Structure 1
Amino acid sequence: MSEPLSPLAGPPGLPALPVTFRPTRTRVVLLTTGAALFAVLTVIAVLLPSLSGGERAGFVLTGLLFFLVLLLLSRPKVVADAGGVTVVNLTTKRRLEWAAVLRVNLRPGDPWVLLDLADGTSLPAMGIQPGIARAQAVSDARTLRALAETYGTGTPAM
């Protein structure tokens, strides 16, 4: 019988891999708001006697559409493992090897982390955003930067 897989122990001071970064508070607000909107519009559709069947369905479908849009907005995350980093944004998902990530940036005023890549481009990593929880985003950005410097060819940020 084989042993269960355990997370990879990282260097001292770094989290065990894999680690997932996501804007948890923002996600909770979006999903709670979406569920509440869907519930309210569904209750309105059921309780208003003057609505026809099509109007009722319209209310429910509108609530579902709001919920799905807010679900999409809550999708971003960044997953770091021993082989690299996976960046999931609103509609895209990109896997990067650690060597491809040169620098992790979160400057004052940035809406989310930007990854400077070896091919000369930058990739937004919307899974780390300082919107509601700035201190958490700064901590997550520092951790991701340390992981990139440890596992890749990144250069120390000043």
Structure 2
Amino acid sequence: MTHSTQLPALPVTFRPTRTRVVLLGVGAAVFVVITAISFLLDLGGGERASFIFTAALFLGVLILLSRPYISADEDGMTVVNLTTKRRLEWAEVLGVHLRSGDPWVSLDLADGTSLAAMGIQPGIAKQRAVADARALRALVERRGTGEGTPDTTGDGPEH
């Protein structure tokens, strides 16, 4: 753990807030515009319904894309990705990695597998994602096995 990384108070939720705001804002705006256009055009009921259905489908996809988060509490963490949700005990998580160019954090698990944790993604808020990855790593180091993991955020020194 780096000296500059403070352990966040539990419970804590990591979520790509800016990305979420953009996705939900664009989805709502497109839904309103397409629905309004369907009422302004001289369309039959079925055609109008297909416009609105398409707008709702587009909004639904953007809502799904805005779903990911990581919630940590005293007992472990819950990783919610696009269509999956997984509960992990602290001892199950051996490492937290966010390397330069990665689309999101990856977790090394005790069973030898990795788990994508899309709740921390550097997309349009890189500094926030790096800080969140370090905070999550600090939690894992403190509450997990205590072995520690190298800093692979691409911005800090290895330790």
- 1:99 partner letter: A
For residues 15 and 50 of structure 2, the distance between their equivalents in structure 1, rounded to whole angstroms, comes to 33
For residues 146 and 62 of structure 2, the distance between their equivalents in structure 1, rounded to whole angstroms, comes to 34
Using the TM superposition, give the Cα deviation of residue 15 of structure 1 relative to its aligned residue in structure 2, in angstroms: 1.5
- Find the residue that maps to 1:130 and give its secondary structure: coil
Residue of 15, 32, 40 corresponding to 2:25: 32
- Find the residue that maps to 1:153 and give its secondary structure: coil
Residue of 28, 39, 42 corresponding to 1:46: 39
Per the alignment, residue 18 of structure 1 pairs with 11
Tell whether the 8 Å contact from 2:6 to 2:135 is kept in structure 1 after alignment. Answer: no
RMSD over aligned Cα, in angstroms? 1.1
Name structure 1 gaps, 5 residues minimum: 1-11
For residues 104 and 13 of structure 1, the distance between their equivalents in structure 2, rounded to whole angstroms, comes to 16
Using the TM superposition, give the Cα deviation of residue 154 of structure 1 relative to its aligned residue in structure 2, in angstroms: 4.6
Per the alignment, residue 78 of structure 1 pairs with 70
- 1:98 partner letter: W
TM-score, with normalisation over the residues of structure 1? Answer: 0.90
Per the alignment, residue 4 of structure 1 pairs with none
Name structure 2 gaps, 5 residues minimum: 151-159
- Find the residue that maps to 1:131 and give its secondary structure: coil
Per the alignment, residue 153 of structure 1 pairs with 145
For residues 137 and 40 of structure 2, the distance between their equivalents in structure 1, rounded to whole angstroms, comes to 53
Matched, 1:61 2:53: yes
Tell whether the 8 Å contact from 1:86 to 1:96 is kept in structure 2 after alignment. Answer: yes
TM-score, with normalisation over the residues of structure 2? Answer: 0.89
- Find the residue that maps to 2:91 and give its secondary structure: helix
Per the alignment, residue 103 of structure 1 pairs with 95
* Residues matched between the structures, number: 146
